[in-house]
């Protein structure tokens, strides 16, 4: 049971982090909740598709299909998160010019929200499905695996709820800044993970492992899991991974600076 | 209600694709640059999963060599090969196989485990130094 | 802002889940550790028992057979085989003396006293190794790790499961209870919302919970001030209009006298003409002023918020005929063709107000229809309702302004609507009040037959069974 808790909690935490931060950020912008239903449908449908066809998928591209799919999903999430950050300053501008009553969120932004969170959830949900159905129930351990999964999912979703309300509690201005910072970190982590999958599938050489900080924070410990979900922490990163991480993080921080500058000029638009 | 106009959605999707393509392009460039060294097919080492255990539980490989690890799952249930030290994770469905590229590694011991059976499915990869 | 109900429900459930699941996990770990100790003790007991036996006394072979009579079902046998402690006994030369059926022929664990992890027969095992201090023979006993784990988990899960099942139930209850707790807010909001227009009485304070009392008090305070303000405004307009009547009549009389005086003067016509002209225009102005004051009075009297309803059955056709005969001069003076058709229909309403409504609509139609134009009035039934329809051949009203024309003092101003046409700008506002008072509906459209404005008023029919 404890393994089920750990596995499911880890996956749920990663998915919830992206979704809750995006949700809080979109709330601070004044977006409607209409995008939640398409996200849920797309994520569950995509995850089922992914999980049921994983064996076929793995065999594709000379046994590299699984990694390539993961890379696609991760890059899609990371890129749409960065695009979301890119859009934020314009949204604030709209908010000022359109007045407070109008929701400044365009359908472009809704599409980005849907793509980012659905792509982030598919992989994690699929792993949970595989664990619960292809492992737990198939090996006749339904009760411990399912109850462990319920506990893990419960704890993960609860933490997500607290992250969401915690961000909202900061007030709209700080909430936008904080969530933008978190989204930047998350997207850098996603892109670096995508790079790791490319190394794993032999597309990138992966010759230099830069350091091993596993003795300090093990990746399988709870702090390690949290840092992995939040910052894309990796105890033994390769040089390619680090490069991608640093570049995308720098890009995200640039966008964040732009956002803060915009908030400075459009300060009153969000002060209330 | 904001309407989801196809135009703006297309616009968003295009921008995301531009970012994603940028990433992929740079990857392809790096891959192409490394193509010469990766051209020769690396040797394959096989690891089996049977009754939620790794067989053999200890693998030995030479240092500073690139190789493919072929993992064959002979159980009916799925398993996930995971190693923090090797920085790899891959789900292997029941009665199927998967490939992972590893190395070149410096000498030492790298542990790996089956994430779905972390207590029993444990193994080690021993990388022998250049002197042996 | 996110709703209080969602906030409370989500955070409370999240808190409950975290506390109960984390404590379940803690309990789970403790129980598993406890069970682990128990199994270790069991191994130790086995080793002790084996130590009591003298290895030399085993004469009946090197396996131990369990009596079949003890085990009844195959499932139990399976469990017993799994649970079975395997053992080996070696002499002090580390030579195997005896072993249980399913133990390997090699030593299971290293020759070193204590608990060890061992792997054989395709399983991982927990092995206990002990050495007899007397003759130095070794005793090894082992249990399968996975079996120990599964057994411990089966027991422990019984303690964890109720919590896992209970939390969703608690979640539903929390949702319901939070809704229950927030009901006074909804009740308060509903009681404020459900008020009749113009009902500005204070909100009842009986059932209001402590937290909402300040809000209710300030709402009541606001309502009182609003009621006073309304009252002042109403009285002011009515009083002012009423007070204006007297000076206007005085003005009229004086004007009449002045004209009379002018006509009796013995002066040449060219001298008198400009003065007479001015007085005529002055008279028109005073007439308009008088009309405006009357209209303001009607408007205030018919405001739905203050009108005391005293409805009687009214024959709409008869009423329209009456109004038309009063105003027929209008149509004659502008040379307009007027037609009225319909059957007698009865509606419930206030006679004076309805007359005012028909009068305003007719005069409007006549005013904006060019000389020689046509006005049709029809009375009929439409889908259970009584329909009064006026059509004219005037320029009509642009569709965008259909809403605004009902506003007080709104005047259409474009090339088609002569700005010189006199009017108070209150006519349609009065019509709107009277329509609202009778719970009727008014709609404007373009007349299909005459091309001008088409006004449709749909009245509630007079209730059947009460017909006169």
CB A237 within 8 A of CB A209: yes
Q: Which long-range contacts (CB under 8 A, 24 or more apart) does C251-256 make?
A: C251/C286, C252/C283, C252/C286, C252/C290, C255/C279, C255/C282, C255/C283, C255/C286
CA angle C418/C423/C427 to nearest 5° reads 120
What pLDDT digit, counting tens, does each position of A183-210 carry?
889 888 888 888 888 888 877 776 677 7
Q: Which residue of A has its CA nearest to B99?
A: A63
**Cβ separation C25–A154 shorter than 8 A:** no
Cα Rg of chain C, angstroms = 51
Q: Are residues C166 and C42 in the same domain?
A: yes
Among candidates A27, A151, A162 on the partner chain, residue whose Cβ is nearest the Cβ of C21: A151
Same domain, B62 and B111: yes
Query: C455: burial class by Cβ within 10 Å (0-12, 13-18, 19+)?
Result: buried
C115-144 per-position pLDDT tens digit: 888 887 777 788 888 887 777 788 888 888
Q: Which of B116, B121, B127 to mutate to test the interface with A (most CBs of A within 10 A)?
A: B116
Q: Do B51 and C122 touch (CB under 8 A)?
A: yes
Q: Do B100 and A131 touch (CB under 8 A)?
A: no
Q: Does B111 lie at the interface with C, CB-CB under 8 angstroms?
A: no
Shortest Cα distance, chain A CAs vs residue C9, angstroms: 11
Instruction: Evaluate whether C424 touches C411 at the Cβ level (below 8 Å).
Output: no
Partners of B120 on chain C (C-beta within 8 Å) are: 124, 145-146
pLDDT at position A41 is: 92
Closest to A29 (Cα-Cα) out of A91, A96, A115: A91
CA closest to B86 among chain A residues: A236
SS3 string of chain B?
CCCCCHHHHHHHHHHHHHHHHHHHHHHHHHHHHHHHHHCCCCCEEEEEEECCEEECCEEEEECCCCEEEEEEECCCCCEEEEECCCCEEEEECCCCEEEEEECCCCCEEEEEEECCCCCCCEEEEEEECCCC
Same domain, C340 and C231: no
The 3-state DSSP class for residue C26 equals helix
Closest Cα in chain B to C149: B119
- Token pair, residue A103, equals 């929701």
Chain C touched by B53 (CB under 8 Å)? yes
Q: Which of A111-125, A128-142, A216-230, C351-365 has the lowest mean pLDDT?
A: A216-230
SS (H, E, C) C164-193: HHHHHHHHHHHHHHHHHHCHHHHHHHHHHH
Domain annotation covers residue C187: no
Q: Which of C120, C138, C170 is the last residue of a domain?
A: C170
Which pLDDT belongs to residue A160?
92
Same domain (yes/no): C110, C255: no
- Which residues from chain A sit within 8 angstroms of residue B97, using beta carbons? 58, 63
For residue B107, give how far its alpha carbon lies from the nearest alpha carbon of chain C (Å): 26
Judged by average pLDDT, the poorest of A177-181, C68-72, C369-373 is C68-72
- Number of residues in chain B: 132
Contact B119 C122 (CB under 8 A): no
B51 plus B115 within the same structural domain: yes
Q: Is A268 on the interface with B (CB under 8 A)?
A: no
**What was the pLDDT predicted at C132?**
79
B95 confidence band (pLDDT: 50, 70, 90)? confident
Q: What percentage of chain C carries pLDDT values higher than 70?
A: 85
Looking at per-residue confidence, does C256 or C77 come out higher?
C256
Residue C421 has pLDDT above 80, yes or no: no
Residue B36 pLDDT: 47
Which residues, including other chains, have CB under 8 Å from residue C462's CB and lie 6 or more apart? C313, C346, C347, C348
Look up the domain containing A220 and give its range. Answer: 2-271
- CB-based contact B53 C149, cutoff 8 Å: no
DSSP structure class, residue C463: P
Residue A272, pLDDT score: 40
A2, A147, A157: residue with CB nearest C164: A147
The reply to whether the predicted model has a pTM over 0.80 is no
* Domain extent at residue B106: 44-128
Select the residue of A32, A205, A240 nearest B38 (Cβ to Cβ): A205
Of C22 and C94, more confident: C22
Give every CB contact of residue B92 below 8 A, 6+ residues apart in sequence: A58, B49, B71, B72, B73, B78, B79, B80, B81, B98
Residue C246 belongs to a domain: yes
Nearest 5°: CA angle at B110, between B109 and B113?
135
A26 vs A22: CA distance, rounded Å: 6
Give the CA-trace dihedral at C371, C376, C377, C380, to 10 degrees. -170
Same domain, B92 and B123: yes
Of residues B14 and A119, more confidence is placed in: A119
> Tens digits of per-residue pLDDT, A235-265?
777 887 888 888 888 888 888 888 887 776 6
Q: Is A82 an interface residue toward B (CB < 8 Å)?
A: yes
Three-state SS for C418?
coil
Statement to judge: residues C64 and C158 lie in one domain: yes
Pair C314, C297 in one domain: no
Residue C185 within a domain: no
Cα separations in angstroms, C142 against A92, A202, C36, C104, C137: 68, 44, 13, 11, 17
**How distant is the Cα of A272 from the closest Cα of chain C, in angstroms?**
12
pLDDT tens digits for range A120-162: 899 899 989 988 888 888 877 888 888 889 889 999 999 999 9
Residue of B nearest to A219 (CA): B84
User: From CA A121, how far away is CA A14, in angstroms rounded?
Assistant: 8
Q: Which residues contact A168 (CB under 8 A, 6 or more apart)?
A: A24, A27, A28, A175, C2
Q: Are residues B66 and B124 in the same domain?
A: yes
Is a pLDDT exceeding 50 seen at residue C251? yes
At C205 the pLDDT is 66
- Shared domain for B19 and B51, answered yes or no, is no
The CATH code of the domain that includes B104 is 2.60.40.420
C280 and C329 share a domain? no
Comparing alpha-carbon positions, the chain C residue that sits nearest to B121 is C124
Question: Domain boundary at C286, C301, C316, which?
Answer: C301
The DSSP code sequence of C196-228 is: PTT--PPPP-SS--GGGHHHHHHHHHHHHHHHH
Domain residues for the domain of C270 are 211-301
Q: With 0-12 CB in 10 A as exposed, 13-18 as middle and 19+ as buried, what is A106? A: buried
Whether A45 has a pLDDT exceeding 90, the answer reads yes
The residue among B64 and C413 whose pLDDT is bigger is B64
Residue C243 sits in a domain of what CATH number?
A: 1.10.287.130
Please identify which residue in the block is written with the tokens 């002042």.
C232
Q: Which residue has the higher pLDDT, C94 or A79?
A: A79
List of long-range contacts for C328-332, beta carbons under 8 Å, 24+ apart:
C330/C362, C330/C363, C330/C366, C331/C366, C331/C375
* Average pLDDT of span B67-92: 87
- ipTM here: 0.83
Band (A103; pLDDT cuts 50, 70, 90): low
In the predicted structure, residue B67 carries a pLDDT above the cut 70: yes
Q: Based on the domain organization, do B63 and B97 belong to the same domain?
A: yes
- Given a contact as 3+ CB pairs under 8 Å, which chains touch C? A, B
| Sign (positive or negative) of CA dihedral C21, C23, C26, C27 | negative
Distance between CA atoms of residues C229 and C278, nearest Å:
42
Q: Looking at the structure, do residues C294 and C315 belong to the same domain, yes or no? A: no
Tell whether the model's pLDDT for residue C74 goes beyond 50.
yes
Confirm if B75 and B96 have CB atoms less than 8 A apart.
no
The residue assigned the tokens 């072993």 is C99
Q: What is the pLDDT of residue C84?
A: 67
Q: Which residues lie below 8 Å from residue B80, measured CB to CB, with a gap of 6+?
A: A127, A131, B89, B90, B91, B92, B114, B115, B116
Q: Indicate whether C434 and C317 sit together in one domain.
A: yes
Q: Taking 50 as the threshold, does the pLDDT of residue A271 lie above it? A: no
Q: Assess whether pLDDT exceeds 70 at residue C220.
A: yes
> How many structural domains compose chain B?
2
Instruction: Among C13, C18, C160, select the one facing A155 at the smallest CB separation.
Output: C18
With an 8 Å Cβ cutoff, is A267 touching chain B?
Answer: no
The arithmetic mean of pLDDT across residues A46-71, rounded, is 86
* Mean pLDDT value across residues C266-278: 81
Question: What does each C-alpha distance from C434 to B108, C197, C227, C304, C411 come to in angstroms?
Answer: 95, 15, 22, 7, 20
The mean pLDDT of chain A is: 82
What's the DSSP call for residue C461?
B
Question: Distance (Å, rounded) from C-alpha C451 to C-alpha C448?
Answer: 6
Does one domain contain both B6 and B57? no
Residues in chain A within 8 Å Cβ distance of C21: 151, 154-155
Write out the two tokens for B47: 């690891």
Q: Are residues B63 and B110 in the same domain?
A: yes
pLDDT at residue C197 is higher than 80: no
Specify whether the CB–CB gap between C152 and C42 falls below 8 A. no
Beta bridge mates, C378: C341, C389
Q: Are residues B97 and B69 in the same domain?
A: yes
- Please check whether residues C351 and C434 belong to one and the same domain: yes
Q: Domain total for chain C?
A: 3
User: How does the average pLDDT of chain C come out, rounded?
Assistant: 79
Are B84 and B22 in the same domain? no
Q: Residue B131 pLDDT more than 70?
A: no
Give residues with Cβ within 8 angstroms of A63, minimum separation 6.
Answer: B97, B98, B99
| Same domain as C331, residue C258 | no
Residue that finishes a domain, picked among C301, C328, C359:
C301
Domain count for chain A: 1
pLDDT value of residue C173: 92
C286 and C312, same domain (yes or no) = no
Q: Which residue, chain included where needed, has tokens 């009901």?
A: C183
Report the C-alpha gap between C35 and C16 in whole angstroms: 28
Give the count of beta carbons closer than 10 Å to the beta carbon of residue C322. 15
Same domain, B4 and B62: no
pLDDT at C234: 74
As a whole number of angstroms, the distance between CA A246 and CA A251 comes to 9
> Is the minimum CB–CB distance between A109 and chain B shorter than 8 Å?
yes
Shared domain for B77 and B105, answered yes or no, is: yes
User: Are the Cβ atoms of A151 and C25 closer than 8 angstroms?
Assistant: yes
> In a 3-state reduction of DSSP, which class is residue C72?
coil
Number of Cβ within a 10 Å radius of residue B73: 24
Do residues C443 and C382 lie in contact, with contact meaning Cβ atoms separated by under 8 Å? no
**Domain match, C331 and C406 both:** yes
What is the enclosing helix (H) or strand (E) of A167?
A: helix A142-169
């Amino acid at each position: 049971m404890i393994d089920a808790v750990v596995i499911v909690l880890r996956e749920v935490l990663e998915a919830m982090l992206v979704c809750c931060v995006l949700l809080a950020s979109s709330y601070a912008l004044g977006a409607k909740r209409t995008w939640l239903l398409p996200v849920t449908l797309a994520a569950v449908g995509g995850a089922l598709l992914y999980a049921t066809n994983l064996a076929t998928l793995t065999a594709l591209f000379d046994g590299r299909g699984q990694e390539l799919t993961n890379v696609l999903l991760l890059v899609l999430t990371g890129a749409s998160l960065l695009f979301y950050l890119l859009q934020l300053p314009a949204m604030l501008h709209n908010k000022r010019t359109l007045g407070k009553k109008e929701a400044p969120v365009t359908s472009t932004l809704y599409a980005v929200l849907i793509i980012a969170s659905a792509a982030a959830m598919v992989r994690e949900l699929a792993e949970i499905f595989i664990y619960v159905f292809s492992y737990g129930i198939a090996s006749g351990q339904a009760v411990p695996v399912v109850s462990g999964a319920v506990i893990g999912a419960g704890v993960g979703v609860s933490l997500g709820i607290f992250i969401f309300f915690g961000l909202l509690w900061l007030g709209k201005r700080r909430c936008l800044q904080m969530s933008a910072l978190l989204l930047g970190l998350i997207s850098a982590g996603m892109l670096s993970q995508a790079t790791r999958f490319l190394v794993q599938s032999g597309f990138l050489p992966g010759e230099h492992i830069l350091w091993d900080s596993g003795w300090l924070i093990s990746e399988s410990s709870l702090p390690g899991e949290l840092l992995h979900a939040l910052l894309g922490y990796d105890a033994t990163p390769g040089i390619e991974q680090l490069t991608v991480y640093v570049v995308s993080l720098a890009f995200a921080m640039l966008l964040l600076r732009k956002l803060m500058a915009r908030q400075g000029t459009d300060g009153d638009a969000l002060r209330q | 209600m904001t309407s989801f106009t196809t135009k703006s959605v297309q616009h968003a999707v295009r921008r995301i694709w531009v970012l994603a393509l940028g990433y992929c392009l740079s990857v392809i460039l790096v891959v192409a640059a490394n193509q010469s060294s990766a051209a020769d097919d690396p040797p394959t080492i096989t690891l089996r999963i049977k009754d939620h255990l790794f067989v053999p539980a200890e693998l030995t490989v030479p240092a500073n060599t690139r190789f493919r690890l072929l993992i064959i799952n002979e159980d009916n249930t799925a398993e996930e090969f995971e190693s923090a030290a090797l920085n790899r994770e891959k789900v292997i469905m029941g009665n199927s196989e998967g490939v992972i590229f590893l190395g070149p590694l410096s000498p030492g011991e790298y542990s790996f485990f089956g994430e779905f059976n972390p207590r029993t499915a444990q193994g080690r990869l021993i990388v022998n130094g250049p002197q042996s | 802002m996110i709703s209080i109900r969602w906030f409370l429900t989500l955070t409370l459930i999240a808190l409950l889940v975290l506390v109960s699941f984390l404590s379940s996990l803690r309990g789970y770990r403790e129980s598993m550790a406890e069970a682990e100790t128990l199994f270790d003790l069991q191994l130790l007991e086995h080793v002790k028992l084996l130590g009591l036996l003298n290895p030399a006394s085993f004469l009946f072979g090197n396996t131990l057979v369990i009596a079949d009579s003890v085990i009844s079902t195959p499932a139990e046998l399976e469990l017993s085989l799994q649970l079975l402690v395997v053992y080996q006994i070696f002499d002090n030369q580390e030579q195997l003396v005896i072993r249980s059926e399913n133990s390997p022929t090699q030593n299971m664990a290293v020759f070193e006293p204590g608990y060890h992890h061992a792997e054989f027969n395709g399983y991982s095992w927990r092995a206990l190794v002990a050495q007899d201090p007397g003759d130095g023979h070794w005793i090894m006993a082992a249990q399968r790790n996975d079996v120990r784990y599964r057994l411990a988990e089966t027991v422990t899960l019984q303690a964890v499961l109720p919590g896992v099942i209970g939390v969703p139930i608690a979640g539903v209850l929390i949702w319901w209870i939070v809704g229950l707790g927030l009901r006074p807010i909804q009740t308060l909001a509903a009681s404020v919302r459900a008020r009749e227009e113009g009902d500005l009485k204070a909100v009842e304070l009986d059932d209001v919970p402590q937290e909402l009392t300040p809000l209710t008090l300030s709402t009541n305070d606001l309502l009182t001030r609003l009621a006073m303000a309304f009252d002042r405004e109403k009285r002011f307009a009515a009083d002012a209009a009423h007070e204006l009547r007297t000076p206007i009549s005085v003005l009229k009389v004086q004007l009449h006298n002045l004209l009379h005086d002018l006509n009796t003067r013995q002066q040449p016509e060219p001298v008198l003409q400009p003065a007479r002209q001015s007085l005529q225009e002055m008279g028109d102005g005073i007439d308009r002023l008088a009309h405006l004051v009357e209209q303001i009075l009607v408007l205030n009297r018919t405001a739905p918020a203050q009108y005391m309803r005293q409805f009687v059955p009214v024959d709409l056709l008869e009423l329209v005929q009456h109004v038309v005969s009063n105003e027929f001069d209008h149509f004659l003076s502008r040379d307009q063709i007027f037609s009225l058709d319909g059957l007698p229909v009865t509606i419930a309403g206030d006679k004076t107000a309805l007359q005012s409504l028909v009068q305003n609509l007719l005069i409007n139609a006549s005013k904006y229809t060019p000389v020689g134009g046509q006005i049709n009035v029809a009375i009929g039934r439409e889908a259970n309702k009584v329909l009064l329809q006026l059509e004219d051949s005037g320029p009509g009203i642009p569709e965008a302004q259909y809403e605004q024309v009902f506003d007080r003092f709104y005047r259409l101003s474009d090339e088609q609507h002569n700005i010189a046409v006199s009017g108070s700008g209150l006519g349609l506002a009065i019509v709107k009040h009277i329509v609202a008072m009778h719970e009727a509906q008014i709609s404007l459209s373009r007349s299909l037959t005459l091309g001008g404005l088409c006004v449709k008023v749909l009245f509630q029919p007079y209730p059947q069974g009460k017909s006169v």
